[in-house]
Amino acid sequence: MSTTKKDTRSVTLSWQSGQAFSAVSGSGHSVTLDGNVEDGQSPMEALLSALGGCMGIDIVHILEKMRVPFGALAIEVEGTRRESEPRSFHRIVLRFRFTGAMPADKAARAVELSLDKYCSVFHSFRTDIDVATEIDIVATANA
């Protein structure tokens, strides 16, 4: 499948102060990322949020297609980082708490389908992603 403009997402980050950046998506939504965790989530926390959010969206959609009603869904995501640089996650635990009378096998199937097939955030953790960098220097009058 070829990549089209519709398949592309973008985010522009602007440094605020300290280790804080404002991230504005191409759709116009913004979040603050902060390495000091004072003005927003750290980038690693945001990564866990993205994973939990992606799986949650999948699971709700899957359960709706299965016609399985539920009252609420809470997701706890806990990541354990390596002690040496680059301190990536080596273990992530996701806890899904459903409220309502629903069959456990349907909940388990929805989680399994999200993780194995649908969650694009999880599958973006793959090591075969092609990452490119580009650098632009904008000279100022004081430089």
Give the pLDDT confidence score for residue 1 in this predicted structure. 42
Give me the sign of the Cα torsion angle 74, 64, 121, 22: negative
The conformation of residue 139, written as its DSSP 8-state character, comes to -
Cα gap 40→21, rounded to integer Å: 9
Cα–Cα distances in angstroms (integers) from residue 64 to residues 18, 55, 59, in the given order: 44, 14, 8
pTM for this model (two decimals): 0.86
Helix or strand or coil: residue 13? strand
Give the pLDDT confidence score for residue 33 in this predicted structure. 95
CATH 3.30.300.20: does it fit domain 42-143? yes
Give the pLDDT confidence score for residue 143 in this predicted structure. 54
Q: What is the pLDDT along the chain (143 residues), one digit of tens a residue?
A: 445 557 899 999 999 999 999 999 999 999 999 999 999 999 999 999 999 999 999 999 999 999 999 899 999 999 999 999 999 898 999 999 999 888 899 999 999 999 999 999 999 987 777 878 787 877 787 75
Longest alpha-carbon distance in the chain: 66
- Facing residues of 20 across strands? 17, 34
Helix 43-66 and helix 104-113, axial crossing angle in degrees, nearest 10 = 130
Cα gap 88→1, rounded to integer Å: 30
Q: In what order do the strands lie in the sheet with 30-34?
A: 11-17, 20-25, 30-34
Contact 35, 17 (CB under 8 A): no
Give the pLDDT confidence score for residue 11 in this predicted structure. 95
Boundaries of every domain in the chain: 1-40, 42-143
Architecture of domain 1-40: Single Sheet (2.20)
End-to-end CA distance of the chain: 45
The alpha carbons of the chain give a radius of gyration, in whole angstroms, of: 19
